A and B are shown apart, each in its own frame.
Chain A
């Protein structure tokens, strides 16, 4: 039995220890906002925050999760600057990659509240978008970081 928090709620999960967090979230906790894209750490669609750090949930096994705190896309408030910027910049096309993009961007902004283009390249390359929304993702991150600046 592994106990950890997801979006502020504690869960005790009794599954094979090698089950990737991705499938614990999707199949057992029914949090399907976190997506499966490659299963090999190559696409970023499954990105969540674990103790505040962006991690690929397809590469994280349940065994590593004891006492950890996970945030998924469902746990990011709609008032979050990134979510707001994603709407004003009209980033989403098919939308499948976007939860992973937003979670990874959230991790970036925690470490760099005002990322440069190079910071964004560095952090966000590896989160694939087959619909090609990269330009708008970049813009939305900049917009969100300005909102953050105004607030503080």
Chain B
């Protein structure tokens, strides 16, 4: 083995050469990007998403950010399927920011989020590929003086009568002269050769060779690196600072104040970081220095006992509850959570008097570009925004406040040099933007058969959209739709439902976090339903089925997961099973978790079986991978995740205080994709919501401990079991 690790000179050279070419690597070379996109350098550019070179190279321009979810493969597959091209010839280029790359449904912004990439691009990219195919066929037919219908395209070659054939490279120039068909004919799905197949990711080779460029890897001639000393509490500002000692560190160039704090700008990360440690700063802590999580909980709990703004109502839940002999009430809570992508936030900015360059990973390029331009005093169009790979996104780089962009632009403006700001893990975890903390209270009563007759759910927490440019679109009559999603649209047959909301305000910055509102509503709804099933002596799986008769897609994933998990079959002693089902982002996911406990009351999830119906599919292996990843992501939150505040300060800073699931506590995961001809649904997020309730329900099954608060720590388990 060791001799394999030793590097041969040839390998080194090979690696060096690989950087310049090859299938995947084209996607990280900004120079190449500019070239490929410039009009006239490729003969055939039928639309914004496709370039075909005279050498037959197919360049797909992708307007979604690659953050692990596989869009640099799934979106090219949509084009390639219709184009009938040779998949080996396909290269990917990230798109620039331009109106033609705007999100189909989010308004005038380029954005990646809401598990929408495949859903919203399916039609546009399929048509882009089909139109190009028709033009290539037409070009060949003209050349041969035959009807296009006498020709066929396959594997980047057009075949005509009598064995004639021309490849796409040869046809590119002629095809470019033809009008672009408005309504190209799409293939029938049974003719698909790529869609539905586990095609290998185009970005994998670069990601195992160290050549994939993430935002943190961006480099430029003369670039400096900065770290920022940030206020200890949200909303704090710099009163005064002394940079003398910091400036004495070898490699430190400048120390400048920006809105985010005090930036130490140096030749590299290490001197910047060392310099930051030597800054003497007096902070004005501002109005949020007294926030404490326990006090906040108390306030939320009080609010939860009072009626909020109505988010949904059917029948008369209040009247039924008033009449009921027996009421069921439970309170649930979940904490603030950090996204904690493995790549800490960072951003490169280079400003010139009449232009700017931003290079980083972003899920909101248009918003971020405008923010950088605003700092620089430029028009957005004067700023070039180049999207790198994202070392995880999970919503964090879709920030309406563009916090990590603005701070870098301010530093670059102050030092008048290209600058990369890097956040340390502690900066990343403490400087904000969290999944909101939520407190929920549910009251229900049952009919004679034990089915829910009335269900009243009060939700307490901050609005993510309030105060942002998304407020108008997302907040209606005081209800932020993401606060109540998954609660105000219950699939279960319950005649009287009332869901209301208290929107709280405080200085803790909140943001969408993989699965957004569903990350808490699924836990609450699916746990409480389980409680009702047990309270009436019914099997939680059968109980759900009986209430989902009108929801065939819920039913199918539920039945699939129950069957695959062997629901009802005996388990070894000390192991319990729990089930949950939830719809989000256009997809339906059910999970069964098998759980045991250590003698220290630590929950261990041994196995998770998952069934998903996400409609028509592009790449089944990506779907499986997203379910696996979402289950681990959900499990980290359910077992360990909590951001807490003491005197306004975030108590966690690194992975010791905010642990993630590791190899030795990762369960065995089995994913089953249900066949479906429904419109495509999302896959990045929908696997997260069912995990926590399936786990909590399994814990109850094995121990009788009903834990209604996440994360489920040994203390929580002991308290629920009445142990001291």
Given A45-B342, A134-B632, the answer on whether A94 and B390 have CB atoms closer than 8 Å is yes
Q: Which residue of A lies closest to B5 (CB)?
A: A71
B204 touches A16 (CB 8 A): no
Q: Do A126 and B212 form a contact, CB below 8 Å, given A7-B12, A23-B268, A37-B342? A: no
| Pair A95/B12 contact, Cβ less than 8 Å | no
Contact present for B210 and A99 (CB under 8 Å)? yes
Asked whether A94 lies within 8 Å of B341 as measured between CB atoms, the reply is: yes
Given A110-B1, A124-B662, 19 other A-B residues pairs in contact with their CB atoms under 8 A: A9-B12, A27-B225, A27-B267, A32-B217, A32-B219, A37-B425, A52-B5, A87-B204, A87-B205, A92-B208, A94-B389, A94-B392, A96-B214, A99-B210, A124-B663, A130-B342, A132-B666, A134-B632, A134-B661
Given A39-B424, A80-B5, A135-B666, A75-B12 contact (CB < 8 Å): yes
Once bound together, how far apart are the Cα atoms of A7 and B66, in whole Å?
A: 29
Chain B residues close to A by CB (< 8 Å)? 1-2, 4-9, 11-12, 14-15, 66-70, 198, 200-201, 203-214, 216-217, 219, 225, 250-251, 267-271, 274, 340-344, 389-394, 422, 424-425, 621, 625, 628-633, 654-656, 660-666, 668-669
Q: Are B5 and A73 in contact (CB under 8 A)?
A: no
Smallest CB separation, B589 vs chain A (Å): 15
Question: Which of A28, A87, A120 counts the most chain B CB atoms within 10 A?
Answer: A87
Contact A93 B69 (CB under 8 A): yes
**Cβ–Cβ < 8 Å partners of B70 in chain A:** 93
Question: A92–B662 contact, CB under 8 A?
Answer: no
Verify B392–A131 contact, CB threshold 8 A: yes
Q: Write 15 A-B pairs (CB below 8 A) sorted by A numbering.
A: A28-B268, A32-B210, A36-B422, A37-B425, A74-B209, A74-B210, A75-B7, A76-B4, A77-B4, A78-B14, A95-B206, A96-B391, A128-B662, A132-B630, A133-B628
Proximity bits, A47-69, B CB within 8 Å = 1, else 0: 00100100000000000000000
Complex Cα gap A110–B663 (Å): 19
Task: Tell whether, in the assembled complex, residue B391 and residue A23 are in contact, meaning their CB atoms are under 8 Å apart.
Answer: no
Q: Which residues on the B side are within 8 Å of A93 (C-beta)? A: 68-70, 625, 629
B229 → A minimal CB distance (Å): 16
Q: Is A142 an interface residue (CB 8 A)?
A: no
**Nearest-Cβ distance from residue B205 to partner chain A, whole angstroms:** 7
Is A150 interfacial (CB-CB < 8 Å)?
A: no
Q: Find the A residue at minimum CB distance from B422.
A: A36
- CB atoms of B656 and A148 under 8 A apart: no
Q: How far is the CB of B361 from chain A (nearest CB, A)?
A: 9
Our pick among B7, B267, B621, B665 for the contact of A77 (Cβ within 8 Å) is B7
Bitwise interface map of A from 105 to 148 toward B, beta carbon under 8 Å scored 1, else 0: 01001100100000011101111111111111110000000001
A71 and B12 CA atoms in complex are apart in Å by: 12
Report chain A residues within 8 Å CB of B269: 23, 26-27, 36
Q: How far is the CA of A49 from the CA of B1 in the complex (A)?
A: 13
A30, B389: Cα distance in complex, Å: 18
B68–A131 CB distance below 8 A: yes
How far, in Å, is B266 (CB) from chain A's closest CB?
10
Closest to A106 in B: B5
B270 touches A73 (CB 8 A): no
B204 touches A92 (CB 8 A): yes
A132 in contact with B664 (CB, 8 Å)? no
Q: How far is the CB of B613 from chain A (nearest CB, A)?
A: 21
Q: Of B1, B68, B205, B250, which one neighbours A106 at CB under 8 angstroms?
A: B1
Q: Does B5 contact A96, Cβ atoms closer than 8 Å?
A: no
Beta-carbon contact of B663 and A138 below 8 Å:
yes
From A28, A86, A134, B666 is in contact (CB under 8 Å) with A134
Q: Mark A22-38, 1 if CB is under 8 A from B, else 0.
A: 01001110111111111
Chain B residues whose CB sits within 8 angstroms of the CB of A137 once the complex forms: 663
A49–chain B nearest beta-carbon distance, Å: 6
CB pair B209–A16 under 8 Å, yes or no, is no
